[in-house]
Amino acid sequence: MLSRPPPGRTVRGSCEIITAAFRVSVRGCADLTSLGTTMKRVITYGTYDLLHYGHIELLRRAKALGDYLVVVLSSDEFNAGKGKKAYFSYEERKAMLEAIRYVDLVVPELTWDQKPEDVRKYDIDVFVMGDDWTGRFDEQLSGLCKVVYLPRTPEISTTQIKNDMQVK
């Protein structure tokens, strides 16, 4: 929504200001790229069922570690292998993740062993998980990318939500 031009300044004048600002910002980006800066790519994995603020906080902090965030989302079949039955289907969980501003790409997680291949395939710099996974992927990803475990958001989980809903 363009703001109204200040009194005395024509719309044309305001558009010129906006255009100029846009041109500067584009040129700025181009200059930044020409300086050889490269995008830092981050990856994380999960089921992301019954999306809640603990998930969002993980995704926000993961994205803050780079410029591009890939979320590898557990398929319904992979979840069965984890002993989990998600309330929402893979497609429903994927659509919700894709609506989150921190998320740039959502792809399926089909096996425990795909992480090294994913890191290579998506040219990943940083692998991120909540600290309930601390140490679990260091060996598998050793030498491939930086591995970061972030503190979980306490007191909220999909299981907690399910339990609470049954009580009420």
Catalytic residues: 82, 84
CB of 157 closer than 8 Å to CB of 46: no
> What CA–CA distance (Å, rounded) separates 84 from 90?
12
Please identify, using beta-carbon distances, which residue of 109 and 125 lies nearer to ligand C2G: 109
Query: Residue 39 CB, nearest distance to ligand C2G (Å)?
Result: 22
71 binds ligand C2G (CB under 6 A): no
Query: Residue 168 CB, nearest distance to ligand C2G (Å)?
Result: 20
129 binds ligand C2G (CB under 6 A): yes
114 binds ligand C2G (CB under 6 A): no
Residue closest to ligand C2G when measured from CB atoms: 130
Give the contacts of 46 (CB within 8 A, at least 6 positions apart).
Answer: 55, 58, 71, 72, 73, 74, 129
Mask of contacts with ligand C2G, 73-112, x by CB under 6 A?
A: -x----------------------------------x---
DSSP 91-112: HHHHHHHHTSTT--EEEEE--G
Give the other-Cβ count within 10 Å of 17's Cβ. 12
CB of 125 closer than 8 Å to CB of 22: no
Please identify, using beta-carbon distances, which residue of 14 and 153 lies nearer to ligand C2G: 153
